A and B are shown apart, each in its own frame.
Chain A
Amino acid sequence: MFDVRVPIRDWIETAVRYLQRQFATVFDGFADVVDAIIGALLSGFQAVPPLLLMGAIVLLVLWLAGWRLALFSAIGLLLIDNIGLWTPFLNTLALVVAAQLLIVLVGLPLGILAASSDTAERIMRPVLDFMQTMPAFVYLIPAVMFFGIGLVPGVVATFVFALPPLVRLVNLGIRQVPTDLIEAADAFGSTRWQKLVKVQFPVAMPTVLAGLNQSIMLNLSMVVIASMIGARGLGTEVLRGIQRINVGQGFEAGLAVVILAIILDRLTASLGKRQQRRARE
Chain B
Amino acid sequence: MILHNYDLYEDCFRVRLLASCTEQSLELVNVNAFPGAEEKSAPYLKLNPLGRLPILEDGELCLRNLSAILIYVAEQDAQKRFIPKDSAERARMMDWLGFACQDLSVATEARAVALLDAPGDVAVLRAKARQLFRILDDHLTRQSLRGEIYVAGKSPSLADIALFPAFALCRDFNLDHDEFPAARLWARQIRTLPGFITMPGIPDYH
The answer to whether A binds B is: no
